[in-house]
Amino acid sequence: MSESEFDLVVFGATSFVGKLLTAYLAERDEPVRWAIAGRSLTKLEQVRSSLGAAGESLPIIVADAANEQDLRALCARTRVVVSTVGPYALYGEPLVKVCAETGTDYCDLTGETQWIRKMVDKYEAAAQQSGARIVHCCGFDSVPSDLGVSFLQKHAFAQWGAPATNVTMRVKTLKGGASGGTIASLINVVKEAASDPQLRKALVNPYYLTPTGHGFTARQHAVTGPEFDADFDEWIAPFVMAAINERVVHRSNALSHNTYGDAFTYNEAMLVGPGIKGRMTATGIVAGLGGFMIAAVVAPLRTLLERYVLPKPGEGPTPHAQASGRYDVRFVGHNRDRTIRAKVTGVGDPGYGSSSKILGQAALSLALNETDRDGGFWTPATIFDERFADRLTSHAGVRFELV
């Protein structure tokens, strides 16, 4: 370990996910020195008190997400920062900047592609020079997708000596709710895209997050309407997280020197059932998503949604809903006439009960230096190895299996 006072600091510990993450880490028996941080001392003390005996000696650091001096002082005391301060596009840049410049490892659970692209462009050179490992998307988006494809491809190589050149992910089961923070992030992305034609064009580019000069030219198919999937014999509908997950998977392919192949294709969607009923369900989902996007763009409708319908920042699923949630996502890989199938299952609400555990294990993996990567911006599948997958199975209820 280094000479830093802490191995890990949870920044944004008073947020909805921050509280879940703090409680989860307090239950772990890991050889790490850690602390919680945020803007309000009073609220941080409340979080610490909620932990009972486990929180009695937990150190507190007061730091404002917009105050670079505070953030530099924080990073001087720790090796790793895990951030839950979203929407990241509004509040996250100063911390990424400071971590990249000071050599402090960092992870978060953002799903905001436009912000990730901006951070990579602005700070990757600094991170490479300082040695900081920066890892976005360490929650339900995009760990099950990113590690699920990596898992499938490793078995494809073992069986065939070659990768699956075409992979699809289908959401079979998804039970859980959404927090105000997630909704706020999604609405912010829609608002930015509505006012920026160049951003709208960039967001539909499947290679938006891949490094410049990646050389990929394969035409990608995005599921935007009702379709019939012959692999599952069911109708499918768009999956809202596909916009981030697909781009993370393509970035992983690029960062791993095109391990999945130069012509690799990938898309995600939701399984909604066979027959006429399945088609009608898919059509209804498409209509509902379209209506939400329109409401998010039109200011009066957005105000009504935020005031009367959607959860507010700091709100989210109840403890019972978090515990009773679950997910099951299926992968099918093809290479000519060969097929391989895998699944990733998780226990707990996908966005919160499960995401907080996944994020916690990512932070612990960095704090314990369970990676051989140099500084830079990485994806979960490219910075972590089998030890991370083992952590998720043993301590986060996430399983990776061949079907």
pLDDT single digits (tens) 282-339: 999 999 988 877 776 777 766 776 666 666 656 667 777 777 889 999 999 999 999 9
Mean pLDDT throughout 231-259? Answer: 96
Span 69-82, pLDDT tens digits:
999 999 999 999 99
What is the distance between the alpha carbons of residues 105 and 130, in angstroms, rounded to a whole number? 10
Q: Look at residue 352 in the predicted model and tell me its pLDDT.
A: 80
Q: Look at residue 1 in the predicted model and tell me its pLDDT.
A: 41
The verdict on domain 8-139+353-396 having CATH code 3.30.1360.120 is no
Report the 3 state secondary structure along 146-165. HHHHHHHHHHHHHHHCCCCC
> Which tokens go with 183?
């909704």
Model-level pTM greater than 0.85? yes
**How many C-beta neighbours within 10 Å does residue 67 have?**
13
Residue 401 backbone dihedrals phi, psi, to 5 degrees:
-145, 145
